[in-house]
Structure 1
Amino acid sequence: MSAKVILHIGQQKSGTTHLQRILGHCSDGLADAGILFPASLREALPDTIENHERATYGLLGTEYPWVTAERAAEERPRWDALAEKVRAWPGTALISAEALSVIRTDAIRTLVTEFDADTVEVVVTTRPLGRSLPSLWQQHVRNGRVSALGAFFAWLARQREAGAKAVEEEQDLHLWRSFALGRLVRRWASVVGPERVTVVVNPGRPHDLLWERFRVAIGADGVTVADEVHAARTHESLTLPQAQVMVRLNEAFETAGWDTYAARAVREAIVLRGTVPGPRPGVPESAWRLVESWTEEDLADLRATGARIIGDVAELRFSPERDLHGPITHEQIAEAAAAALLAVADRDRFAPPVPEVPAQRRRVLRVRR
């Protein structure tokens, strides 16, 4: 029976995948320190970045709006295997799945009561809204969405205006269940207690600061990681010109009736081979005051929860100098479009044909040989 289970629940776009990559690299060191980071995906795919989201589908199923009952049934054996490893470990077990940040209170109770642990603790990693929301938009675009940046923030505003009660109860309003930080902490604290919730602030720089704070949160102070692991990029994010091009490309895929998987393959090829320098997406001018007000509301709510905070809450404040996106030029968009085209072009298809040697000439060559 585990003495403690730590649930690392995100938020989304707060550095969770980066941390999961580090945890996979130092899983042996963690085990020596008494902390189990159990294998789940790595059992079938040893080189993948470990996370436990798919396993939680087997327990929580359609609580996630994107998971069907059939998918949940497929993943149930994965959850059972993971839960058995956690129960069998005598020390601390760490489960990391950022999708847990969107689940509602009843699902939280289901998850917490699944473990025969003396203590269940929760760790929330968080990042300024001015950084995480534009990053979420480019991820949506990379996944096939067609909303321009301004329209995306208008959609966020409409969802938030639905009110806290609706966000907590309506399944499809899951985005603000994750990103409204104070409410997120309060929801989990209502089940495990505020003294068992830790918030880790990720300001983004320096690159190793998130791990330094996270390992304090999980009680792994002595576990170290090589500098190259910290420095490695986990995701290739779209620049703003790339994202603008991909929005139009996604629209074109829909109009032309492209298959979902074929369109995804094209987008991934562009991300992998068509990257060009450019400004990152930021908060549009039209949403500046909104994001600032959302941030201050969430931070005030967070302070009132009684949760432990590692880092400075002020690092989460909206900063126009850092968070607003700069202007982009037609030249930058054209360069991104050209790079995207080259990334998916089949060079062999357009290569000039090899001249055919006439039959008489071939005979002469054979005689000479």
Structure 2
Amino acid sequence: MSTSTAPTESLQLPERALLLHIGLMKTGTTSLQNAAAALRPQLLAQGVRYPGTKVNHRSAVNDFMGHSWGWDTTPVEGAWRRLRAEIDADTDHRVWIGHEFAANADDATAARWRQELGERAHAVVTLRNYGSILPSLWQQMTKEGERLEFEPWLRGVLSDDPDHELRSFRDRIDQGRVVTRWAEAFGPEHVTVVVVDKSTPELLFDAFESMLALEPGLLRTAKLDGKASNRGMSLEEAELLRRLNLKLRKQLTWLEYCKWLRDSASTAVLRWRRTGDHDTRLVLPTWAAEIAEARASSHVEQIVASGVRVVGDLAPLRAPVRSAEDPPLRSDVVPIDAAVEAILGVIRQGRREEDRLATAREEIAQLEATAKDRRRAGPALSDASGRELVRALGSRVKRRLRRG
């Protein structure tokens, strides 16, 4: 089955359209978000608002859906209200929002998104080969605290047991059901699927530029490093983080984990290290590849039946992936340079914390000195004129009345 890319002019969304990119995870979402955030002024100049000040709209999306991110956390209250206020205030531009956590919506929540955003909203789903997503998703979850080795995690996600503890991971990458759900909620004419494939790497950015009427090539001008593009990790890199998770998961809060591991150790490895001869690429076992291929074929049939607009070729979604009868699925050895970069990342984070503390101490000292100078410079009560005393007394009375 093959579906060709729609002509550029047919992709363009109406003026003042709201593009809601719901992911899925590991389909180039991080690259898109970092490019959009880095180019906010350029986007606005070309008629597109990417609201907020952060890289993505994760907090607002989770707040709307009532979801939290990380263990023992709650949604960021008011995050969606603030984002919605900025969207409503702009009556001239197309708007681009989203985060891959939106794809975790159930049927009722997808319908609520439609009710919230109205007729101007258009949902965009980015997809890639189902089998290739599995190693990438495990790596991503490892960066967010996952402690299971790849093989037991894989067996759980590919299980048909509806009550399996990893059912949520299976549901969030059920491409056929996700597309069908949003087509039913928004109407198929308001949903676009963009197929991400290594044979057409330019298609992802091109599709978003066409939908938003941006100058061709604009998004590629953003400079993205390994962290910003969220490159895949080797088995050894992922195992390093997983072993740290085993030791630290119960000792750290989620915010502490993000500070010292997710945003320091793993970020440093992705940003500064390049995989080499000592790294092992994660490959699916044959049994897993067979299940993935069968599911992918079912997904493609559901996508075609949904009636949504498809950009790209659907064939790569269900193409066989590289597999082996008994591939390496765990590692007891970590390349030294990976460990070094992880340690350096934590040290850099510590230095940043020290710099923040030093700056805060300086600001407090300045405030205290200013307050002390003002106290010294103020007129003594015995030196104050009658008019000054009356004015001061009147101010105090007014303050007390307001408090009362």
Instruction: List runs of 5+ in structure 2 lacking aligned partners.
Output: 1-14, 348-404
The CA distance in 2 between the partners of 1:253 and 1:279, in whole Å, is 25
Closer, same or farther: CA 51–338 of 1 in aligned 2, 3 Å:
closer
Deviations 1:291-331 (A, max 9, x none): 1111111111111110000000012123333x66995599x
Counterpart AA for 1:186: T
- Which residue does the alignment assign to 1:53? 58
Distance 1:36 1:240, change over 3 A: same
Q: Secondary structure of 1:320's partner?
A: coil
How far is 1:14 from its partner? 0.7
Contact in 2 for aligned 1:279/1:326 (Cα 8 Å): no
Asked if 2 retains the 8 angstrom alpha-carbon contact of 1:145 and 1:250, the reply is yes
**Residue 182 of structure 1 aligns to which amino acid in structure 2?**
G
Distance change (3 Å), C-alpha of 1:22 and 1:98:
same
Q: CA RMSD in A?
A: 3.4
TM-score w.r.t. length of structure 2: 0.69
Structure 2 residue 189 is the aligned partner of structure 1 residue 187: no
Q: CA deviation at 1:178?
A: 2.5
Q: Report matched runs for 1:59-208 at 5 Å.
A: 59-62=64-67, 71-72=74-75, 74-76=76-78, 78-90=79-91, 91-115=93-117, 117-158=118-159, 160-162=160-162, 173-208=167-202
Aligned equivalents of 1:157, 1:307: Cα separation in 2? 26
Q: Check whether the contact 2:235–2:329 (CA below 8 A) recurs between aligned residues.
A: no
Match of 2:238 among 236, 243, 250: 243
What code does the residue aligned with 1:36 have?
A: R
- 8 Å CA contact 1:22, 1:225 repeated in 2: no
Shift of 1:88: 2.4
Confirm or deny: 8 A CA contact 1:128 1:318 kept in the other structure.
Answer: yes
Give the length in aligned residue pairs: 321
Contact (CA 8 Å) 1:194, 1:307: kept in 2 or not?
Answer: yes
Other-structure match for 1:13: 26
Q: Secondary structure of the equivalent of 2:66? A: helix
Asked which structure has the greater CA Rg, the reply is 2
Instruction: Name the SS for the 2:306 alignment partner.
Output: coil
Q: Which residue of 1 aligns with 2:386?
A: none
**Matched position secondary structure for 1:309:** strand
In structure 2, give the amino acid aligned to 1:239: S
Structure 1's 253 and 126: CA in aligned 2 closer, same or farther, altered over 3 A? same
The whole-number CA distance in structure 1 between the counterparts of 2:220 and 2:94 is: 26
Residue 107 of structure 2 aligns to which amino acid in structure 1? T
Shift of 1:118: 3.6
Give the alignment's TM-score, normalised by structure 1. 0.75
Tell me how far 1:250 sits from its aligned partner.
Answer: 3.1
Contact preservation (8 Å) 2:158, 2:170: no
Q: Which runs of 5+ in 1 are unaligned?
A: 43-47, 348-369
